[in-house]
Amino acid sequence: MRQKMKIVTMHQPNYLPWIGLFSKISLADCLLIYDDAQYEKNCVINRNKIRTDKGSEYLTIPVGRCPTETRISDVNLPQNQEWKQHHWRRIHDNYVKTPFFNDYAGFFEDLYREDLHCLCDLNEKILSYLLWCFKINVEVIKTSRLNLGSCLQKTDLMIAYLKRADADVYLSGPSGKSYLEIEKFPENNIALRFFKFQHPVYRQRYIGFEPNMSAIDLLFNMGPQSGEVIRSSASMEDCEYGRSVALVR
């Protein structure tokens, strides 16, 4: 009989994800990669920010026009691969002088040489590597492999995914307060918690701190300490009582 409450969170597969995503995942036992969600161009699925001497800069994968209702898992990378050279060059030039760049750069240099065809594959490779770097050990399940179809909508679909993952607790992002049908979670024996994020301030290469960067900014600057920085920024809020819930590991 299982005694520990299984905490499950869900997120779309983002490109070079920001720190907050890893902070949320660090509180969970299982991550559902929501790769059969509808693709939205020019959001964090195909772009994210790095730190530069001018503040920040978006690195955007120039994904072509996709038909309406295209799933993220079905989005292809551009055939013209010049963007890979540009992204690696911008990462290299802005981070080569950070303390831990040489410890992690090899993965990204090799990644931008790979002949990948699917945006989701690229994003998942980056996610998996960063989870490993930050020592965040979670079960990872792609929702596209759960074969739930498209007959369910919004909260009902989410609960169906959570049941497949054997969730006792769903850890939602704070925006879930505005769109989730909260009453359906206790009806399905799933507790609901909301993620709270306190953005950490850490050493960056350039003067002045810029928040909301890709997590590679933290990694290259803080190296092995990055995981602890991430975990220290995370907490959960109880849905019913609105109080902070201490994480027990």
* Interval 225-239: pLDDT, tens: 999 999 999 999 887
- Name the percent of the chain lying above pLDDT 90: 83
pLDDT of residue 177: 87
pLDDT of 50-91, one tens digit each? 999 999 999 999 998 888 889 999 999 999 999 999 999 999
* pLDDT range class, residue 3, cuts 50, 70, 90: low
**Segments making up each domain of the chain, as ranges:** 7-245
DSSP letter, residue 55: E
CA separation (Å) from 182 to 8, 156, 212? 16, 11, 28
Model pTM greater than 0.85? yes
pLDDT of 7-21, one tens digit each? 999 999 999 999 999
Residue 218 structure tokens: 């933290």
pLDDT (mean) for 41-55: 94
The rounded distance, in Å, linking the Cα atoms of 181 and 174 is 14
* Contact between residue 40 and residue 71 where contact means Cβ atoms under 8 Å apart: no
* Contact between residue 221 and residue 203 where contact means Cβ atoms under 8 Å apart: yes
CA 228 to chain centre: 17
* pLDDT range class, residue 240, cuts 50, 70, 90: low
pLDDT of residue 150: 65
pLDDT of residue 148: 80
